Amino acid sequence: MGIVRRQSINSSIFIYLGFVLGAFNMWLLPKILTAEQFGLVRVLISVCTLLAGLCSLGTQQVVTRFYPYYDTRMGKHKNDLLGWTLMISLVGFSLMVLLTFIFRDLIIRKFEGKSPLFIDYFFLIYPLTFFILLFGLYERIAWSKQLTVMSNFLRETGVRIFVVLIVLLLAVRWISFGGFIIAYSLQFGVVFLILYAYLTHYKGTHLTIRPSPVTRQMYRQMGTYAGYIFGGSLFMLVEQYFNTILLGSRESLGAAGIFDIAFAMATFLLVPKRSVQAAASASIAQAWKEGDTERINRLYRKSAATLLIMGIFILGLIWLNIDHIFDLYKPEYRSGKYVVLLVALANLIDLATGLNYDILVNSKLWRIHFILSVTLVALFLPVTYLFVRAYGMMGSAYGILLSIFTYNVARCLLLWWRLHLQPFTGRTGWILLTGATAYLVAGRLLPPLPGIFVDIVVRSGLFSLIIAVGVLGGRLSEDVTELYHMALSKLKIRRP
């Protein structure tokens, strides 16, 4: 089994575990917090993730793209890539701190009317942003060294284990909300220290800023790349967290919290892509360095088929049981039901088009991709604002669906036009037909069954069975078929 496939599978296990823990948090927190307090938790993480991306000044993507050049030409103790990217990231963080002090009055005026609680805990953006920034940089080093399983475990599972612990402490009233939210701001500090220790064990954290021959030769190219990527990331990050922040400032923290629960349910579809991206990013960068477009094309098509199958499977299970899921929450959270559907469909489109973003940003087309991304984000930010103004939470969902559809169509056309790469095969249609058939039978033809538990188990089981028979019988994905045979081998069951 290839390293990309093996690490993708191992990472997916931890990522799904993390999502289960995250789902537990998203169920428990609204029960023990007010809507405003829960909204603060979600707005805080959105704001700080956005700020951390901006503070990086494009350095994290530079690590992924240029690490193969350092790895093949420099010894571990002469590799200055981490030292320079860390220093630049800290400069970016210092600028962010300075700007928040300069514009503090403007920030207060924007949030104090609808979301005064955010102003009370505004100071927590600094530790949370700082540790998200550090973890993101060292995570890229781990990806480049193909140590993705541990980094994914810490980001997706380790963070949520920590949050579960402090949520339980809050639930039994061992800590106050103030103590909880302070501990919450330190969650990435804990996992960063673990990742740092892990990479130190593998000798991946040596720091030096003495310019190496690679840096002296490529610093202009890296600087230009970082500048473009930072510009593109600026717009993409703003758009990614624009909805939660906009709802928090324009509607209320409560509306932001409801939207974030619905958004988190839909984001469950993206678990497989996160693991594949982490495992494949180094391989894609290496393949471009070697000019191996055939290898990239194989990875592009195989990833698109596998991710589409996983996305359809997860979306089907969610939507078949959506009413039962919302029964677990307070009645006001049910207003996010169709937000789940629209955002999930947007994520399914993203999965169906495979690793187009990762291929483009590591290719010679990265400048064109930057211009394309900035143009589209500049178009969709005001469109999303108008949608939110007119339709509230549903407006955010409309904006997400429209923008993700447009982005992926544009990326696919660019790859096909300039590099003759495209993610679809004859199997794509069969995958969609299999998913539609499974949903029609399990969701429409099967009548309601007595008892919530029985209904969930039978309906989900029937849907899963039809998907499995269609995918395995039609050999619609090499990765899924090999995973199935590997499972049989582990269980010592003879292959049919």
- Would you say residue 131 has pLDDT above 90? yes
Which structure tokens are listed for 152? 């994914």
**What does the pLDDT look like over 367-393, one tens digit per residue?**
888 788 778 777 777 887 788 777 777
Task: Give the span between the Cα atoms of 69 and 65, in whole angstroms.
Answer: 9
Cβ pair 279, 148 in contact under 8 A? yes
- How far is the CA of 259 from the CAs of 240, 253, 332, 340, in angstroms? 13, 10, 11, 9
**What does the pLDDT look like over 1-46, one tens digit per residue?**
455 555 555 556 666 676 677 777 777 777 788 777 877 887 788 7
Does residue 211 sit in helix, strand or coil? coil
Do 332 and 367 have their domain in common?
yes
Do 74 and 204 have their domain in common?
yes
Which structure tokens are listed for 2? 């290839």
Cβ pair 247, 384 in contact under 8 A? no
Structural domains in the chain (count): 2
Do 348 and 383 have their domain in common?
yes
Task: Give the span between the Cα atoms of 260 and 341, in whole angstroms.
Answer: 13
**What does the pLDDT look like over 156-180, one tens digit per residue?**
788 888 988 998 898 888 988 889 9
- Would you say residue 277 has pLDDT above 60? yes
- Which residue bears the tokens 């005001």? 382
Do 400 and 470 have their domain in common?
no
CB atoms within 10 A of CB 464: 15
**What does the pLDDT look like over 81-104, one tens digit per residue?**
888 888 989 999 999 899 888 877
Select from 306, 21, 369 the least CA-distant residue to 163: 21
Do 433 and 403 have their domain in common?
no
DSSP designation for 124 = G
Do 230 and 304 have their domain in common?
yes
Mean pLDDT along residues 464-489 = 80
Which structure tokens are listed for 77? 């103790």
Element (H, E) at 282: helix 271-290
Mean pLDDT along residues 340-368 = 88
**What does the pLDDT look like over 261-270, one tens digit per residue?**
788 788 888 8
The residue out of 402, 424, 446 marking a domain boundary is: 424
DSSP string for residues in 383-443: HHHHHHHHHTHHHHHHHHHHHHHHHHHHHHHHHHHHH------HHHHHHHHHHHHHHIIII
Do 418 and 435 have their domain in common?
no
Task: Give the span between the Cα atoms of 366 and 135, in whole angstroms.
Answer: 25
Task: Give the span between the Cα atoms of 237 and 276, in whole angstroms.
Answer: 21
Beta strand residue intervals within 266-362, DSSP E: none
Cα distance between the two ends of the chain: 20
**What does the pLDDT look like over 410-457, one tens digit per residue?**
999 999 998 888 888 888 999 999 999 999 999 888 888 887 888 888
Which structure tokens are listed for 431? 């995958």
Select from 485, 481, 488, 65 the least CA-distant residue to 302: 481
Do 93 and 170 have their domain in common?
yes
Task: Give the span between the Cα atoms of 280 and 358, in whole angstroms.
Answer: 9
Cβ pair 359, 352 in contact under 8 A? no
Do 291 and 376 have their domain in common?
yes
Task: Give the span between the Cα atoms of 25 and 83, in whole angstroms.
Answer: 36
The residue out of 378, 394, 424 marking a domain boundary is: 424
Q: What is the pTM of this model?
A: 0.69
For a pLDDT cut of 90, what percent of the chain falls above it?
18
| Residue span of the structural domain in which 460 resides | 425-496
The residue out of 384, 399, 424 marking a domain boundary is: 424
Do 168 and 198 have their domain in common?
yes
Do 384 and 468 have their domain in common?
no
Cα 184 from chain centroid? 19
Do 348 and 447 have their domain in common?
no
